[in-house]
Amino acid sequence: MVIPLSNQAPDEQDRTAAWHYGAVWDTHGTSVTDARHAVRTLLAQAGHPPGHRPSQDAQLVVSELVTNALRHAPGPGGLLLELTTDPALLRITVRDGSPRPPQPRDRNPHRIGGHGLQLITRLCGRFHTVLLGQGKHVVAELGLRPL
């Protein structure tokens, strides 16, 4: 199920209104490409052009979080993107069925892969995990340059 990109405010011209996008997937997963497209589109609609650094950083964070959920926690999951009422803050939430919080690996420049959480923590102002009855939410808050 996908919740269309939408502005939840009554006045569609209000740049300070919250923007949301949501998607859920079953055991077959979702496309990381679709997740990147969703964040790129959401930010573009809110005035953050796709070629600018905030959009590119957001696409990287979404790619890493969704890839980790699909790779390490197979089963139902979901993605919620929220551009809060502060248009300079993007909250990315990925839900999965695993109760284990993500664990960053030790730095190893010779290893291929395993660097995603380090990138996320460097790009995001806040990164945390909320344990649920079944599974968890992984939440990253990415500061965007003001419009």
Domain count, the chain: 1
| Whole-number pLDDT of residue 61 | 96
In-domain check, residue 139: yes
Q: Residues 55, 40: contact at Cβ < 8 Å?
A: yes
Is 6 within a domain?
no
86 found inside a domain: yes
Band (107; pLDDT cuts 50, 70, 90): confident
- What is the pTM for the complete model shown? 0.81
Query: CA 9, CA 126: separation in Å to the nearest integer?
Result: 25
pLDDT tens, position by position, 38-64: 999 989 988 889 999 999 999 999 999
The percentage of residues in the chain with a pLDDT greater than 70, rounded to a whole number, is 80
CATH number at residue 128: 3.30.565.10
pLDDT at 68 over 80: yes
Per-residue model confidence as pLDDT tens digits over 120-144:
999 999 999 999 988 999 999 999 8
Domain membership flag for residue 54? yes
109 domain residue, yes or no: no
Backbone angle region of 12, left / alpha / beta, with phi > 0 → left and psi within -120 to 50 → alpha: alpha
pLDDT at 1 over 50: no
CA distance 54 to 92: 13
pLDDT score of 13: 44
Comparing 4 with 111, which gets the higher pLDDT?
A: 111
Identify the domain containing residue 45 by its residue range.
18-104+114-143
Q: Assess if residue 45 is contained within a domain.
A: yes
Least confident of 24-28, 72-76, 121-125, 138-142: 24-28
CA neighbor of 22 nearest in space, from 123, 137, 142: 137
